[in-house]
Chains A and B, each alone.
Chain A
Amino acid sequence: MDLGDASEKENTMKQLITLAVNNQEYELAVEPNLTLLDLLRYHLELTGTKKGCDEGDCGACTVIMNGKPVSSCLVLAVQANGKEILTIEGMETEEGIHPIQQAFVDNGAIQCGYCTPGMILSAKALLDRNPHPSEEEIRTAISGNLCRCTGYQKIVEAIEEASVKTSKPSPRSSQR
């Protein structure tokens, strides 16, 4: 290993971070080498965000950070300081599940379900900025979310259906 030997066993300084996850504020002290994905899954017990590869190749760990879908395994928890995070758990409201989630259920777009949270969030990010996407735009929006079960067919159909249902503006479903 180059660039300084990090195997010296000194303890590194924890950092205090504040972030909002699904509209709830958290204040935590975290190690610098903790990823946002691990923070969500193991510290905040929001296990809906999945770990498929942990190196940015599969999209299972997708969350929406300050309005943009990102792979949370490539974001340090400390980088999420001051940011707003939306995870799959935040998609539903007291009124029920989000129309995108319902569309996935109704269209048979969920098989093993492991890619599903990431897919739904990528779909949400798409429909928030482009309420009437073409099929090409849908496929591009989810091109970073790998699925091995569905061949993407019913996922694309679900997002198309959701785009019709969500294109009416709704204060709850939009996120800045």
Chain B
Amino acid sequence: MNECAVLNKRLPRVDAPDKARGRAAYVDDMRLPAMLYGAILQSPFAHAKILNIDTSAAKKLPGVKAVVTAQDAGLVKYGVSPARYDETLYCHQKVRYLGDEIAAVAAVDLETALEALGLINVEYEELPAVLTVEDALAEGAPLLHEEFPGNLCAEVHQEFGNVEEAFKECDLIRTDRFVNKRQDAAFLEPHVCIADYDSSGYLTLHTSTQVPHYVMRTVAMVLGIPVGKVRVVKPYVGGGFGPKCEATPLEMSASLLSMKTGRPVKMNYSREQVFLHSRARHQFIHEMTTGVKKDGTLVALKNTCHLDGGAYTSFGIATVYYAGSLLGGPYRLPNMKYDGYRVYTNKPACGAQRGHGGVAARAAWEQQLDAIAEELGMDPVDFRLKNIMRTGDVTCNALDMSSLGMKECVEAVKERSDWVHKKGKLPRGKGIGIACGFFVSGAGYPIYRSDTYHSTVVIKLSEDGGTINVLTGSAEIGQGSDTTMAMIAAEALGVRYEDVRVISGDTDLSVDLGAYSSRQTLMTGHATKEAAEDVRKQVLEVLSRRLDYPVDAMDIKKGLISFKEGTVDFSEIRRQYIKEHRGWTDPPADDKLSFKEAARIAYLEMGTIVGTGKYKPPKLGGAYKGAAVGTSPAYGCSAQVVEVTVDLETGKVTVDNMTDAHDCGFAINKNSVEGQMEGSLSMGLGEALMEEVKFDRKGRILNANLAEYKIATALDMPNIKTIIVESHEPNGPYGAKEVGEGAIMPTIPAILNAVYDATGVRINELPLTPERVYLALKKKEET
């Protein structure tokens, strides 16, 4: 493999200096002239009929410029997937969770807006609420949505092979039940937006989102504005992790209020409201039965899952599929049966969060596999290696592993963690555990049924050729996508990284589905590469004509033109360039022709040099129902080894170190790849040990703040050893594929397996708080 000029290095990110200086602008840092402030009225009840809404007093409060309810917003239903458009902007006849949106106010300042909320008089008739899957599915349970009897939001039934028959061939069959808890993504920047509806009917929405494209479409659809008149632009975003993957009532309220008042409207969620909005990780209740042969060959898996979905579907229609489909790999599994049920409950809606529906399923299964390995007397690493898939394998549910460095990842962490000297040799109270996982590199299909390209990119050269502008609707949310595109453009075009400028996150620039399902490196990367190659071709073609030299014998490297054979006289071009830049004190004097000069000449001949690129995955997946969910042009995978110390008297678990090996196909920027691995591990550790959204009996969140919803601090995280594995994905640009979500998959089960190794206790409920571990230890002692 030829070494790349720009790629596969540790270049500093394009946005890092501004962020280090505090100059990077996020939405709340922005202010527009004549800006108003908005606030949303939210339901104090988990389930209630709305009998009447009286906004008259609020409207009269001095400083209030608009008050809107369902009457003003209309009742266009929306959601994430058209198959489940089950919410309206404001509640119409009833509220379905404590926090459900009823009205919004725009006023001259936040204080007045909040005061106005207090003057909106809503008459409720409280209804009984269902707060658990069990209660929601019970006979005669109160219904959240008329169209969904039994509160069943979605159900999935899939079988590949024949599980019952296969079990008959098994020597060992084991069943386990596993449950995680509802999470929150806990990004540091709460949602915030500024909507600006101008005098020509154009709406510009500045918002902290991962998906400008989807937000644009939803806002246009719900508020009845033509798509071409809605522009969504994201500045810097302080983290997303999933919940910022859909249009929010905040964004739609600000837009509607701006339409009503003719002024820009800023709206923020408080940290508490971020919890109330949620759209974060579901609670999954898994029951899994796995059958193996006594030599450790995996034969069959029966997986049933109930998802506690909250009051609306959000991403849940995909989640309920992922909870099954993502167990098709990374082991050879010929028979798999999955039955999934997503249930409505009177709580904030759950959606997609890093790793989506695969995280809890992975945690459950990897712990079960460890238990099976133990029963067979096999080392957990050997058990996994025995069943591991290789590049070219296809899962029973038709997921094609066009590249898969799973084996390499397992061997890498085994070695780096010194597994053989530790497994079975640590004193009681200390343990080591391993797990594997994989994830899609971009969903194979967009969220709404469409033949749209998933990514389009425009590259426009500045007229003097000095800057390569990459214009993309893709979303830099902290993961480093702007840097990735800058590096890919630089590599594909042959220019210096410093000369590339990425302008992104704006629906006016290009269509891009945004930052979710770990798609941008592969998909936007492809489009960027194509656009850069288009520019390269255009410039070299002009040069070829001018110099009467074949295109194929020219190349662009590090911003300089190279000629394969002989010397080429480009002095005429240089003279022309210098003439066009009289007064400049730094004329080109290199003995090589620069890209700048070539690009300038190309502009003079052709006009603005614009290159375009686009990407759409080929038709993927099997022919069965729901086959789409889980399909992807590529899959990233991770293996992880974790060591823990368990305080046997208090149950407190400390993670002492973590080693992760992730196959990202080809690392565009090594720092970025490692950073995503490290961040994934910290989120996984938090979910394993301390994160849980808690409710009281009335459906109110008890810990809607970052003091009581506990994410890992710097003292809770150990040092992380990261290993990058490169399997060179044929479907990825330069062989690259995802890293953003694959690395979280093994984290929770590696910790669970390590805790078992330390204590002899398997715990099937998250989080592993000290109390939970203590009770499990006590129970074991008593038996």
Asked whether, in the complex, the Cβ of A108 is within 8 Å of the Cβ of B19, the reply is no
Task: Choose one: B22, B25, B479, B715; the contact of A88 (CB below 8 Å).
Answer: B22
* Alpha-carbon distance between A52 and B268 when the two chains are bound, in angstroms: 11
Asked whether, in the complex, the Cβ of A89 is within 8 Å of the Cβ of B189, the reply is no
Q: Which residue of B lies closest to A48 (CB)?
A: B22
Asked whether, in the complex, the Cβ of A146 is within 8 Å of the Cβ of B711, the reply is yes
Task: Choose one: B17, B270, B705, B714; the contact of A142 (CB below 8 Å).
Answer: B714
Is the CB of B674 closer than 8 A to any CB of chain A?
yes
Is the CB of A57 closer than 8 A to any CB of chain B?
yes
Is the CB of A65 closer than 8 A to any CB of chain B?
no
Is the CB of A68 closer than 8 A to any CB of chain B?
no
Is the CB of B351 closer than 8 A to any CB of chain A?
no
Are A113 and B478 CB-contacts (below 8 A) given A55-B705, A92-B21, A146-B706? Answer: yes
Is the CB of A124 closer than 8 A to any CB of chain B?
no
Asked whether, in the complex, the Cβ of B679 is within 8 Å of the Cβ of A110, the reply is no
Q: Which residue of A lies closest to B483 (CB)?
A: A108
* Alpha-carbon distance between A91 and B17 when the two chains are bound, in angstroms: 13
Q: Which residues of A contact B671 (CB under 8 A)?
A: 107-108, 154
Is the CB of A78 closer than 8 A to any CB of chain B?
no
Q: Which residues of B contact A139 (CB under 8 A)?
A: 714-715, 717
**CB-based A-B contact count at 8 angstroms:** 178
Asked whether, in the complex, the Cβ of A51 is within 8 Å of the Cβ of B21, the reply is no
Is the CB of A35 closer than 8 A to any CB of chain B?
no
B306 to chain A, nearest CB (A): 28
Interface size grouping (class) on chain A: 35 or more
Mask of A105-143 contacts with B, CB within 8 angstroms, 1/0: 111101111111100100000000000000100111011
Asked whether, in the complex, the Cβ of B19 is within 8 Å of the Cβ of A110, the reply is yes
Q: Which residues of B713-728 have CB atoms within 8 Å of chain A's CB atoms?
A: 713-715, 717, 719-720
* Alpha-carbon distance between A97 and B480 when the two chains are bound, in angstroms: 21
Q: Which residues of A contact B190 (CB under 8 A)?
A: 51-53
Asked whether, in the complex, the Cβ of B714 is within 8 Å of the Cβ of A87, the reply is no
* Alpha-carbon distance between A91 and B25 when the two chains are bound, in angstroms: 17
Asked whether, in the complex, the Cβ of A97 is within 8 Å of the Cβ of B20, the reply is yes
Q: Choose, from B234-242, B491-499, B546-554, the stretch at the interface.
A: B234-242
Q: Which residues of B169-186 have CB atoms within 8 Å of chain A's CB atoms?
A: 185-186
* Alpha-carbon distance between A146 and B716 when the two chains are bound, in angstroms: 11
Q: Which residues of B224-254 have CB atoms within 8 Å of chain A's CB atoms?
A: 236-239, 241
Q: Chain B: how many interface residues by the 8 Å CB criterion?
A: 55
Q: Choose, from B8-16, B132-140, B453-461, B630-638, the stretch at the interface.
A: B8-16
Is the CB of B24 closer than 8 A to any CB of chain A?
yes
Q: Which residues of A contact B290 (CB under 8 A)?
A: none
Asked whether, in the complex, the Cβ of A149 is within 8 Å of the Cβ of B720, the reply is no
Is the CB of B464 closer than 8 A to any CB of chain A?
no
Q: Which residue of A lies closest to B240 (CB)?
A: A112
Q: Which residues of A136-176 have CB atoms within 8 Å of chain B's CB atoms?
A: 138-140, 142-156
Is the CB of B675 closer than 8 A to any CB of chain A?
yes
Asked whether, in the complex, the Cβ of A151 is within 8 Å of the Cβ of B681, the reply is yes
Is the CB of B187 closer than 8 A to any CB of chain A?
yes
Asked whether, in the complex, the Cβ of B675 is within 8 Å of the Cβ of A150, the reply is yes
Mask of B15-58 contacts with A, CB within 8 angstroms, 1/0: 11111111111101100000000000000000000000000000
Q: Which residues of A contact B604 (CB under 8 A)?
A: none
Q: Which residues of A contact B713 (CB under 8 A)?
A: 143-144, 146
Asked whether, in the complex, the Cβ of A111 is within 8 Å of the Cβ of B26, the reply is no
A50, A140, A149, most chain B CB atoms within 10 A:
A149
B481 to chain A, nearest CB (A): 11
Is the CB of B404 closer than 8 A to any CB of chain A?
no
Are A49 and B188 CB-contacts (below 8 A) given A55-B271, A140-B715? Answer: no
Q: Which residues of B contact A57 (CB under 8 A)?
A: 271, 705-707
* Alpha-carbon distance between A111 and B712 when the two chains are bound, in angstroms: 17
Q: Which residue of A lies closest to B19 (CB)?
A: A113
Is the CB of B528 closer than 8 A to any CB of chain A?
no
Are A148 and B683 CB-contacts (below 8 A) given A112-B237, A142-B714? Answer: yes
Task: Choose one: A53, A88, A145, A154; the contact of B674 (CB below 8 Å).
Answer: A154
Q: Which residues of B contact A49 (CB under 8 A)?
A: 22
* Alpha-carbon distance between A88 and B21 when the two chains are bound, in angstroms: 6
Is the CB of B729 closer than 8 A to any CB of chain A?
no
Q: Which residues of B contact A104 (CB under 8 A)?
A: 16, 20
Q: Which residues of B contact A135 (CB under 8 A)?
A: 719
Q: Which residues of B contact A154 (CB under 8 A)?
A: 671, 674-675, 678
Is the CB of B682 closer than 8 A to any CB of chain A?
yes
Q: Which residue of A lies closest to B239 (CB)?
A: A112
Is the CB of A47 closer than 8 A to any CB of chain B?
yes
Is the CB of B69 closer than 8 A to any CB of chain A?
no
Asked whether, in the complex, the Cβ of A113 is within 8 Å of the Cβ of B24, the reply is yes
Q: Which residues of A contact B241 (CB under 8 A)?
A: 148
A51, A55, A112, most chain B CB atoms within 10 A:
A112
Q: Which residues of A contact B26 (CB under 8 A)?
A: 50, 114
Are A151 and B188 CB-contacts (below 8 A) given A57-B707, A89-B22, A111-B679? Answer: no
Asked whether, in the complex, the Cβ of A114 is within 8 Å of the Cβ of B720, the reply is no
Q: Which residue of A lies closest to B238 (CB)?
A: A114
* Alpha-carbon distance between A57 and B184 when the two chains are bound, in angstroms: 15
Is the CB of B672 closer than 8 A to any CB of chain A?
yes
Are A155 and B187 CB-contacts (below 8 A) given A108-B671, A111-B479? Answer: no
Asked whether, in the complex, the Cβ of B17 is within 8 Å of the Cβ of A97, the reply is yes
Is the CB of A60 closer than 8 A to any CB of chain B?
yes
Q: Which residues of B contact A108 (CB under 8 A)?
A: 10, 12-13, 16, 671-672, 674-675
Task: Choose one: A56, A112, A120, A142; the contact of B477 (CB below 8 Å).
Answer: A112
Q: Which residue of A lies closest to B686 (CB)?
A: A148
* Alpha-carbon distance between A49 and B24 when the two chains are bound, in angstroms: 11
Q: Which residue of A lies closest to B713 (CB)?
A: A143
Asked whether, in the complex, the Cβ of B675 is within 8 Å of the Cβ of A87, the reply is no
Asked whether, in the complex, the Cβ of B270 is within 8 Å of the Cβ of A150, the reply is no
Asked whether, in the complex, the Cβ of A148 is within 8 Å of the Cβ of B187, the reply is yes
Are A147 and B678 CB-contacts (below 8 A) given A49-B22, A88-B22, A110-B19? Answer: no
Asked whether, in the complex, the Cβ of A50 is within 8 Å of the Cβ of B23, the reply is no
Q: Which residue of A lies closest to B720 (CB)?
A: A153
Asked whether, in the complex, the Cβ of B675 is within 8 Å of the Cβ of A111, the reply is yes
A45 to chain B, nearest CB (A): 8
* Alpha-carbon distance between A63 and B22 when the two chains are bound, in angstroms: 12
Q: Which residues of A contact B238 (CB under 8 A)?
A: 50, 52, 112-114
Asked whether, in the complex, the Cβ of A48 is within 8 Å of the Cβ of B711, the reply is no
Q: Which residue of A lies closest to B477 (CB)?
A: A112
Q: Which residues of B contact A91 (CB under 8 A)?
A: 21-22
Asked whether, in the complex, the Cβ of B10 is within 8 Å of the Cβ of A111, the reply is no
* Alpha-carbon distance between A142 and B714 when the two chains are bound, in angstroms: 7
Task: Choose one: A97, A147, A153; the contact of B21 (CB below 8 Å).
Answer: A97
Is the CB of A101 closer than 8 A to any CB of chain B?
yes
Asked whether, in the complex, the Cβ of B678 is within 8 Å of the Cβ of A150, the reply is yes
Q: Which residue of B lies closest to A42 (CB)?
A: B31
B183 to chain A, nearest CB (A): 12
* Alpha-carbon distance between A112 and B680 when the two chains are bound, in angstroms: 14
Asked whether, in the complex, the Cβ of B16 is within 8 Å of the Cβ of A105, the reply is yes
Asked whether, in the complex, the Cβ of B28 is within 8 Å of the Cβ of A51, the reply is yes
Q: Which residues of B contact A87 (CB under 8 A)?
A: 22
Asked whether, in the complex, the Cβ of B705 is within 8 Å of the Cβ of A53, the reply is yes
Are A47 and B679 CB-contacts (below 8 A) given A111-B480, A112-B236? Answer: no
Is the CB of A28 closer than 8 A to any CB of chain B?
no
A→B interface (CB under 8 Å): 41, 46-58, 60, 87-89, 91-92, 97, 101-102, 104-108, 110-117, 120, 135, 138-140, 142-156
Q: 18 A-B residue contacts at CB 8 Å?
A: A50-B189, A50-B238, A92-B21, A101-B20, A101-B21, A104-B16, A105-B20, A111-B480, A112-B477, A113-B238, A114-B238, A138-B714, A140-B714, A146-B186, A147-B188, A148-B682, A151-B720, A153-B720
Q: A106-B12, A112-B238 are in contact. List 6 more A-B contacts (CB 8 A).
A: A52-B271, A105-B16, A108-B674, A113-B236, A146-B711, A150-B682
Closest 4 CB pairs of A and B: A48-B22, A112-B478, A113-B19, A114-B238
